[in-house]
Structure 1
Amino acid sequence: MTEAEAVARVEELVRQVVAGITPEPQLDLLPTSLAEHPCIANEGSVSTGKIYVIRSYYLKSLPKDRLSEAGQKIRDNWEQAGHKITMAHMFESGEPRLSGETSDGFGLALDTTITTKELLLRVDSPCMRPTTSSPSAAP
């Protein structure tokens, strides 16, 4: 997989998981998610020479009392697309958190921010060799 393909797949997964949430959330991109992210070997802090792509979005304009409902829709969309949920909790308290993965190594994370009580959605790719002109820095 190329870096451009990874970016396209991450963005496609983001669109899939937020589809049908009402009211429709405004996706506010976290700018730091556009940077290249180095893959680190399991043994410590040594870079593998590979990178992975991330897109993180605050889901703005969702009513605070409907965060669990939005989280459940994200969970349902992920599972209906044939992907696996690996962790889900705190839906009943209105602060949903979940994580998941696709069969091809892409990851999903949803968290509720502590201070602003907003949902933060992150989708990331598996590690890959970087290309010479990085599309991951393009929105």
Structure 2
Amino acid sequence: MLVVLGGLGGCARSDSMTDGGSKLTEAQATARVEELIRQVVSGITPKPRMELIPTSLAEHPCIPNEGSALTGEIYVVRSYHLKDLPKDGLSAVAEKIRGNWESAGHKITMTYRFDEGEPRLSGETSDGFGLALDSTVEKELALLVQSPCFRPSTSPSATP
């Protein structure tokens, strides 16, 4: 469904996604993810109706780059479909999101297909949070923000 969202959403453990993240609590990670979402959609006109993608609320175990053993760490994700936007204005909305992200002092790491009206972008914060924006086949935008990996106060149920 979403190339960029799927790539970021897998969250293979990497140094950039774990620096500073290990001291996070789930509540802090969730609050920061939600704050970043509010920042990136601020000032979009017309204001999109944000429809939560329910699977983003599931438990997300971090996957190590090497080996197959889970780390016991998790990450927080929030994904939304941005609804009720003009189908021919998706690139302008993506530019606004890009500008909001960069204005907040964060880095954009990839942009793609803005000229074709099917924008995709990804970015990261200095503290390891990630952003992904992608166009859907329904001519909507899907937005994802995720935390770095951190060790929860109780082990995830998927971890033996």
Give TM-score, length-normalised by structure 2.
0.80
Question: May I ask how many residue pairs the two structures share in their alignment?
Answer: 133
Measure, in 1, the Cα distance between the counterparts of 2:155 and 2:74: 13
Aligned match of 2:151: 129
Measure, in 2, the Cα distance between the counterparts of 1:10 and 1:44: 28
Alignment pair present for 1:46 and 2:64: no
| Structure with higher strand content | 1
Measure, in 2, the Cα distance between the counterparts of 1:133 and 1:29: 26
Measure, in 1, the Cα distance between the counterparts of 2:60 and 2:130: 14
Alignment pair present for 1:94 and 2:117: yes
Contact 2:91-2:119 at 8 Å conserved across structures: yes
Measure, in 2, the Cα distance between the counterparts of 1:112 and 1:30: 14
Contact 2:56-2:79 at 8 Å conserved across structures: yes
In structure 2, what residue type is equivalent to 1:47? L
Measure, in 1, the Cα distance between the counterparts of 2:68 and 2:47: 40
Aligned match of 2:102: 79
* Cα offsets for 1:7-52 (capped at 9, x unmatched): 0000000000000010000110000000110001101432100000
Percent pairwise identity: 71
In structure 1, what residue type is equivalent to 2:128? G
In structure 2, what residue type is equivalent to 1:62? L
Aligned match of 2:25: 2
Report SS of the residue matched to 1:48.
coil
Contact 2:72-2:155 at 8 Å conserved across structures: no
Alignment pair present for 1:120 and 2:138: no
Structure 1 residues 21 and 128, CA, compared in 2 at 3 Å: closer, same or farther? same
Aligned match of 1:137: none
Aligned match of 1:111: 134
Map 1:50-69; keep pairs closer than 5 Å.
50-69=73-92
* Structure 1: gaps spanning 5 or more residues: 135-139
Q: Calculate the aligned-residue CA RMSD, in Å.
A: 1.3
Alignment pair present for 1:18 and 2:47: no
Measure, in 1, the Cα distance between the counterparts of 2:69 and 2:98: 34
Offset of 1:133 from its aligned partner?
9.8
* Structure 2: gaps spanning 5 or more residues: 1-23
Offset of 1:89 from its aligned partner?
1.3
Provide runs of 4+ in structure 1 moved above 6 Å. Answer: none
Structure 1 residues 66 and 50, CA, compared in 2 at 3 Å: closer, same or farther? same
